[in-house]
Structure 1
Amino acid sequence: MNQQEINEGKTLAFVSYLTIIGTIIAYFMNNDKKNPFIGFHTRQSLGLWLTYFVLGWVISAVDSWYATLAFWIFFSVLFIFGIVSALGGKSQPVPLLGDLFQKWFSRIGQ
């Protein structure tokens, strides 16, 4: 991945983290370009959003303010990490699950 691809892909990489709809938009807009930087961040954000929804469903069954607060802090930190990485032009996976997201969603953005 060269610097020109990174510079061209920063906007869509950022958009992919905003909402699940942003991830879908970034995926479809990158289908023609096949920019590896956008593909990397699309895989990261898709993994984060899917994990967010699954764990959110589990946490909603637990009636604990502490569990809910920990859930929000955890995902806020991961999403901020991804956004800062995208805007900084880095292809750095999010902590804990980022490498797994790259492996699980390897066909996205290729």
Structure 2
Amino acid sequence: MDQNTIYEGKTLGLVAYLTLFGTLIAYFMNQDKRNPFTAFHIRQALGLGFLYVIIGFFISYFDSWMITYSFWIFFSVLFFYGFFGAITGKLNKIPLLGDFFQKAFKSREQ
């Protein structure tokens, strides 16, 4: 991937990590340009967002601040890891699940 593609896709790549609404905004804004850098970060952020909601649903049944804070810290680190990758222009996959997110959310046109 060349530097121009990365430069053009950085802004939407960063927006993708700002909640699930940011991911949707980046997705729809990237439909015309189809920037591969942005698409990579949209898939990573979408996977993190869905995983956050699913695991958060189950964590909410525990009445323990240690479990809740551990959950928040864990996902904060993962979102920061992806966000930092978008800032620096790198294609950092989320550990363990990054490949799955790329395959699961890849559109058929790409």
The amino acid of 1:36's aligned partner reads P
Which residue in 2 is equivalent to 1:57? 57
Taking every aligned residue pair, what percent have the same amino acid on both sides? 57
How far apart are the structure 1 equivalents of 2:18 and 2:55? Answer: 18
Gaps of 5+ in 2: none
Matches within 5 A, 1:1-40: 1-40=1-40
* 1:41 aligned residue: 41
* 1:51 to 1:108, Cα distance in 2 relative to 1, 3 A: farther
What is the TM-score with the length of structure 1 in the denominator?
A: 0.95
Q: TM-score, normalised by structure 2?
A: 0.95
Task: Output one character per residue of 1:38-78: Cα deviation in whole Å (capped at 9) or x when no partner.
Answer: 00000000000000000110000111111101100100000
1:108 Cα deviation after fit? 7.6
Aligned to 1:100: 100
SS at match of 1:107: coil
Contact 1:39–1:109 at 8 Å: present in 2 too?
no
Instruction: For residue 96 of structure 1, report the CA deviation from its aligned partner.
Output: 2.1
Give the 3-state SS of the residue equivalent to 2:89 in structure 1: coil
SS at match of 2:93: coil
Runs (4 or more) in structure 1 with deviation over 6 Å come to none
| Structure with the higher fraction of residues in helix conformation | 1
